[in-house]
Amino acid sequence: MTEAGEPAVEVPPPAGPKRYWTRRRLTDWLIARLAEDVPTTAGIDHSFSFPKVYFARHDLPRDWNTFLDDFHAHWPTDEPDLYVDFVRTGVAGLAALRSGEPRWRRRVEEICRAKSVFHFDVTGQVAKYTHAGLPFLRQTRRTLPDLHVWPYDGWHMPAGASCWSRFTRRDGLSQFRRGWIGIEPEVIVRGRADGVQHAGRRAVGILVGVELDEPPAHGCSPGT
């Protein structure tokens, strides 16, 4: 985490029986930080939505809140001691009613040659992280209704608002330096938003931006 452009520091997990971060402990910590009166930009390294074909296959509207609620109803991986593989194997949840195929990818994933969110059990997979993380993203959003999740709540972040977005590791950024995909590390490192310096802005991670000549006036539709 970095405060107002200062050098980033690693945040240790809170005291407890486990000496490492878990998704539940990280979610609780993030909610507490994002609820503070400090504009904060945070990033999580998993997908926030699924390809368009998923919405078509399951007859779902391309509405992000509806998508999150529907996914949670079938993959409740934020429940205690409930792991992704338990849902995949039918021990819990309703995975058979809300699954996809490994070849399904969003346009952005095709351009940067990323793996599908449905491609499990391979090196560098994002599928398990995404299926585990989406219910916690929903939980955070429901707890903090004023949190701006980029770009689904709009391409432009309101002044003084805290923001949450997808980020990727620095060693993978070169994949995005092509076409209309762009990297904006300054948004995080220098605590900037929309090209404007904000004193006191706190940030975590690296934002992956979408470069367009004329950004849409409203948020990004799921499946984009």
Question: Residue 154: how many CB atoms within 10 A of its CB?
Answer: 16
The closest alpha carbon to 13, from 23, 142, 93, belongs to: 23
Residue 2 · residue 202 · CB < 8 Å: yes
43-66 pLDDT, tens digit each: 888 899 999 999 999 999 999 999
Q: Report the amino acid identity of residue 134.
A: L
Which 3 state secondary structure label does DSSP give 109?
helix
219 close to 58: Cβ distance less than 8 angstroms? no
Confidence (pTM): 0.77
- pLDDT by residue for the chain (224 residues), tens only, comes to 877 777 778 888 888 777 788 889 889 999 999 998 888 888 888 899 999 999 999 999 999 999 999 999 999 999 999 999 999 999 999 999 999 999 999 887 888 788 999 999 998 889 999 999 999 999 999 999 999 998 899 888 888 888 888 876 543 444 434 333 333 333 332 233 333 334 455 555 433 333 333 334 455 566 65
Q: DSSP assignment of 1-42, as one string?
A: -EETTPPP-PPPPPSSS-SS--HHHHHHHHHHHHTSSS-EEE
